[in-house]
A and B are shown apart, each in its own frame.
Chain A
């Protein structure tokens, strides 16, 4: 079976009307059937929290939850997502209250440029729903499909572990250095 050489893309894009259930709200949108969930979330629903990265499945910036499981919205057709529950970063906070993951990321500096953050928050949310007390290795494993070019990942792992502790109702904070960094070594003149 080899690739046919004579296949031209369809000249006319066929459009569909579908209702996407995003963060518990119905969005009825009209879009070309070949558009991805990422494109329709941003362009059709106006939800721009989910980010475009590589658009090829390699970075995780576009991760959202589909029926509670992390998927890459750049590789899901919006048409395929109709009839399923979609969760994006916009649905994390409750009213004015940040989700513990968001609060932990903000307080610990686990987001720097912030471009990878929505995808990581959503992937972490799915992990914590399944495993309320993950080890550092389990957090790393769950986030293995999400690239971050800024933080070096340490803060991200710490923040997910802290958010997990908050969600379990524990009150202990990470050590002070986690917020402020360790003191600089003394420089002798």
Chain B
């Protein structure tokens, strides 16, 4: 039986109290929201904590606020709530699509948007039970010194597995972080580092409080799309995902576009070369094909999840093309994923 290790559990009702506990308890304290990532990780002894602080009792963190301009999604809104939210479905349908693709219905009733954005990076050699990992010796992401995926590599290549993150980065979302000593708002994109171990650009005690979606990324101004590949239509994590957000000028050419890939780097990966190539051009078949090739070049799929890395590289091209085609209003060219709106 896989039991959790012992820890102290705190469930504050106020954000300031949660921030104070995190500041006071030091390295041993960490937050939990839905627990759908933290509990499995603690059961497998990947992640450790002496004190776990639940955010679920703090009402102000759960609210979804739509003033018609910027949309504010509370960090502890569950994925089911985000996907069902009228504001999200109406104004940011591509985000609703990405969120609906996550895990399975019961997990979406539990998992939160904030937890999804802070999700641990994943790797076949890491997401295993402790005896399994001990048997081949721990890798660099834990107590060891070697990376089993790329033994001569000085870094860990565990991949960013969140599905909401690439979509929200493409839409230009920002996040509000708060600690006992102050708060800051940063572009979500800047929350991530391309490092499988040290994957978040934030201090341990900073709580992600809300996601802010700009009005300019709403569907009346911006065409968004999300495509995800996995073995089964539910439960499985993405092995490749592609999110696009495009703004067109009056003549129908691309004014601005963001293309962000998931599961092929230790962070959501922006394909800047493709974005630059497409700026000012019409998003036709030829432009899409060129941009998709650049996406494949930028991605570094490793042999650390389902399917062969080389094939996933090929799929990066297909899925990036599908996302771009859909943003351009063309036929996506591949079968729709199993999670229609």
Contact = CB atoms under 8 A, between A and B. Distances in A.
A144 B233 contact: yes
Contacts of A4: 27-28, 48, 204
Nearest to A9: B5
A72 B108 CA distance: 10
A72 B197 contact: no
A2 B43 CA distance: 19
A58 to B, nearest CB: 6
A144 B234 contact: yes
Interface in A139-187: 141-142, 144-145, 147
A9 B43 contact: no
Interface of B: 1-9, 11, 27-28, 34-36, 39-40, 43-44, 46-50, 54, 56, 80, 103-107, 109-110, 141-143, 197-204, 233-235
27 contacts: A1-B203, A3-B46, A3-B141, A3-B142, A4-B27, A4-B28, A7-B49, A10-B6, A13-B6, A14-B8, A14-B9, A34-B4, A35-B3, A36-B4, A36-B39, A39-B3, A56-B2, A56-B40, A57-B36, A57-B39, A69-B80, A70-B105, A71-B110, A74-B39, A76-B35, A123-B106, A145-B235
B249 to A, nearest CB: 39
Most B-side CB within 10 Å, residue of A3, A72, A142? A3
A60 interface: yes
A11 B44 CA distance: 18
Given A10-B7, A56-B43, A123-B106, 18 more contacts: A1-B201, A9-B5, A9-B50, A10-B5, A32-B6, A33-B7, A55-B43, A57-B39, A57-B40, A63-B106, A71-B110, A72-B36, A75-B110, A123-B105, A142-B105, A145-B103, A145-B106, A147-B235
A11 B28 contact: no
A141 B340 CA distance: 11
Contacts of B200: 1
B8 A77 contact: no
B106 A7 contact: no
Contacts of A57: 36, 39-40, 103, 107
A188 interface: no
A69 B9 contact: no
A141 B105 contact: yes
A52 interface: yes
Contact of B105 (A58, A76, A144): A144
Nearest to B142: A3
Nearest to A72: B106
Contact of A10 (B3, B50, B202): B50
Contact of A77 (B35, B107, B143, B203): B35
A94 interface: no
Contacts of A70: 105-106, 109
Interface of A: 1-14, 32-36, 39, 52, 55-58, 60, 63, 69-72, 74-77, 79-80, 123, 141-142, 144-145, 147
B50 A69 contact: no
B76 to A, nearest CB: 13
A39 B223 CA distance: 47
Contacts of A32: 6
A3 B35 contact: no
Contacts of B201: 1
Given A71-B106, A75-B110, A142-B105, A34 B28 contact: no
A63 to B, nearest CB: 6
Contacts of B80: 69
Most A-side CB within 10 Å, residue of B4, B35, B56, B233? B4
B104 A75 contact: no
Contacts of A58: 235
A68 B2 CA distance: 27
A2 B5 CA distance: 20
Most B-side CB within 10 Å, residue of A56, A58, A79, A142? A56
Given A10-B50, A33-B8, A57-B40, A145 B27 contact: no
Contacts of B54: 80
Contact of B48 (A2, A7, A80): A7
A31 B90 CA distance: 45
A36 B110 CA distance: 14
Contacts of A52: 1
B6 A72 contact: no
B264 to A, nearest CB: 21
A80 B201 CA distance: 30
A11 B6 contact: yes
B208 to A, nearest CB: 11
Given A3-B47, A7-B27, A79-B9, A72 B2 contact: no
Given A1-B198, A72-B110, A80-B54, A55 B203 contact: no
A189 B27 CA distance: 76
